Amino acid sequence: MRLASIARKAQPVSAVFLFAMLAYGVVGVLWGLWHPTVDVEVTANGALDPVPGTEDASFVGFACFVIVTGLLAFGVAGWSFLTKPRGPAMMMWTTLVVFSGTWWAFAIGARITSWMNTLPEGHPAPGDVLHLASADISLTALLLPMTIALVFYWCASVMSDSETFSDSAASAEN
C-alpha cells in the first residue's frame, strides 16, 4: 500500500522528466543537424581565409540554440503547471528538468555537429573549402532556459486563482 502511494506521487514527476528529455533530445538532434558552419578556403600559401558571409555561423548557432531551448522552456513549464500537481516542489523540479534538458540538447547537438563536420584526412590542397563548426556555447545558454522556466512557472502560480491552486494541490495528495 505504501509503495502504491509513492508510485502515484512519483508519476507526475516522471512524466515531466520524460516529456522534457524527449523534447530536448529532439531539439538537440535538429540543432546538431542544422548547425551552421564557417567555410574557409585554403590559400596557395596554406593559410585559411573565411568565405564571406559565413563568419558569424557560431553566433547564429548559439542564438538559435538559446531561442529554441528558451521557447521549449516556456512549453515545459506551462505544460507542467497546467497538467501536473502545482507547488514549490514541482516548480523547482521543472526548473531542474529544464536545465538538464538544455544540457542534454547541447550534448546531443554538439556530438552530431562534430560527427557531421569532421576535417578531411591528409593535407588540403589550395582552393579546397573546409567546413568548420563550433558547437561551443556559454553557461548563459544553459542557464537562460532554466531561468525562463522558473520565472514563467512562478508568474503562473502568482497569477492563478487560489482555488485552482488549492484544488490541484489537494488532488496531488489523494
Range of the domain at 154: 16-35+48-160
Q: How many domains does the chain have?
A: 1
Question: pLDDT by residue for the chain (174 residues), tens digit each?
Answer: 565 665 566 677 788 889 999 999 999 999 999 988 888 888 888 788 888 877 788 888 889 999 999 999 999 999 999 888 888 988 999 999 999 999 999 999 989 988 887 777 777 778 788 777 777 778 888 999 999 999 999 999 888 876 555 445 445 544
The bridge status of strand 48-50 relative to strand 38-42 is antiparallel
Q: Residue 43 falls within a domain, yes or no? A: no
* Cβ contacts of 141 within 8 Å, gap of 6 or more: 62, 65, 66, 69, 102, 106
pTM metric for this prediction: 0.79
Euclidean distance between CA atoms 70 and 26, whole angstroms = 14
Q: Residue 7 falls within a domain, yes or no? A: no
Q: Residue 5 falls within a domain, yes or no? A: no
Q: b/e per residue, 53-63, with b = 16+ CB within 10 A?
A: ebeebbeebbe
Residues in the chain: 174
**Side-by-side strand order, sheet with 38-42:** 48-50, 38-42, 129-132
Place of cell 555561423: 57
Q: Residue 27 falls within a domain, yes or no? A: yes
